[in-house]
Chain A
Amino acid sequence: MKISLVEYDAGNLPSVERALARQGLETERVATPEAIRAAETLILPGVGHFGQLMRTLSARGLTAPLREVIERGTPLLGICLGLQALFTESDEAPGDAGLSIFAGRVVALPPTDKLPHMGWNQLRRVRPSVLLEGVPPDAYFYFAHTYAALNAGEAAVALCDHAALFVAALERGNLFAVQFHPEKSGDMGARVLANFVAHARTSSRS
């Protein structure tokens, strides 16, 4: 199974590629509507600015295909900004529409703690999770962000607490997203990526 990484200018693409390559997985970069529609398994990596990401996706005609494949149930993992992009809008770029898979606004974390939320933090599990299968409850993951989704309804599987309680991981059917960077989170991050890929394999066979 090949994993397709959505390519746009500001991304953490190479580190995601390396993390998957370490597990012996084959990846390709996709940047056209056709390639996204044809993909078996997708990862939407993300570092940078919400508005810039949404405008780039839109300029390349990728917004509609991404929504289509998510609705169709193609396994997709959003990382960091790739989680935020699933929501309706963000404080970071008022006026730029997100993919709107989840209703709600991504907000600026309040300045009650140091920001950006930068470094390794633990998760609070709220329900059983595919991504976090086999990950010890006290495991640390690497975060680097200032904006966050505070609510994802039933989809939230883990929260994190820094300045506010926010969504650290969400799952709904074949759609997955994490606010942390699994590709930068050592062995625990590798486990999360492996869990996503294993799930995608099963779902493509069924």
Chain B
Amino acid sequence: MTLARRIIPCLDTDGERVVKGVNFVNLRDAGDPAALAARYNQEGADELVVLDIAASRDHRPTFLETIRRVAAELAIPLTAGGGVATVDDGRAILRAGADKLTVNTAALRRPALLTELAAEFGSQAVVLAIDAKRVGDRWEAFVRGGHDPTGCDAVAWAKEGASCGAGEILLTSMDRDGTRSGFDLALTSAVSTSVSVPVIASGGADTPADFLAVFVEGRADAALAASIFHDAVQGLGELKRFLASKNVPVRLT
């Protein structure tokens, strides 16, 4: 009896459609979020993440409608986020049907937001998203969709975020995101061994061996990927059977 390692497909959206890009730029259309959600629910995803990477105030109602459409397709947990800056933003996302919300830029600017969100919705509903990029011999947290450096050490920020009330860390390697060159194992392991909350590794997934490595060497609790699942490069069932054959505890459906 062991907690299963989770495989989490991620839908990066412009609020309405799933988009794809490399290193956060050159976005192109990759489909309807509700249709993809239905497919992943069926194929054995353990959870789904849907993000509004545009996160503009004007498009917020559109994104909430997207959350509703996605949630309607799921019998598994849903995490949603993008541009959450207040407790009210968080409430709107959860009311639309998400089980957890992600918060990034606003939390780094004001860590007390994590405490407020956790007090209102419980830590289990608050996911701190960290976009980390290698700078010299450490990793720096970037905000605003990876645009702005903060000077803040990603590992230290993860620890602080968890102590402020985040119940989970969604850790994206900006260096690996969209490159299909494997997860950043050193970054993932550094964060996962520093915090007492679960860590979702993101950025760089390509082969089943990459997932095995991020669970074993990277010490990740969950692994997230987008394009390899959208393009059906990697089937979820096949990936999980591979992991099970390597003694990684996974939920087979």
A residues near B, CB below 8 A? Answer: 10, 12, 14-15, 18-19, 22, 47-49, 111, 113-124, 140, 142, 144-146, 160-162, 181, 183-187, 189-190
Contact = CB atoms under 8 A, between A and B. Distances in A.
14 contacts: A10-B121, A15-B99, A47-B99, A48-B122, A118-B198, A119-B6, A121-B4, A122-B2, A140-B251, A144-B124, A183-B75, A184-B75, A186-B41, A187-B75
B74 to A, nearest CB: 8
B168 interface: yes
B253 interface: yes
A169 B124 CA distance: 20
A119 B4 contact: yes
Contact of B6 (A113, A114, A120, A181): A120
A119 B99 contact: no
A142 B76 contact: yes
B15 interface: no
Contacts, number: 97
A91 B71 CA distance: 32
Contact residue range for chain B?
A: 20 to 34
The 6 closest A-B pairs by CB, nearest first: A140-B251, A144-B124, A120-B4, A116-B124, A120-B251, A122-B1
A12 B94 CA distance: 9
B1 A161 contact: yes
Interface SS of chain B: loop
B52 interface: no
B46 interface: yes
B198 A114 contact: yes
B208 interface: no
A122 B125 CA distance: 22
Contacts of A142: 76-77
B25 interface: no
Contacts of A189: 75
Interface in B99-132: 99-100, 119-125
B141 interface: no
A24 to B, nearest CB: 15
B77 A124 contact: no
B2 A121 contact: yes
B216 interface: no
Interface string B1-19: 1111010000000000000
Given A121-B3, A124-B1, A185-B75, A116 B123 contact: yes
Contacts of B125: 47-48, 144
Q: Which of A119, A124, A185, A187 has the most CB of B within 10 A?
A: A119
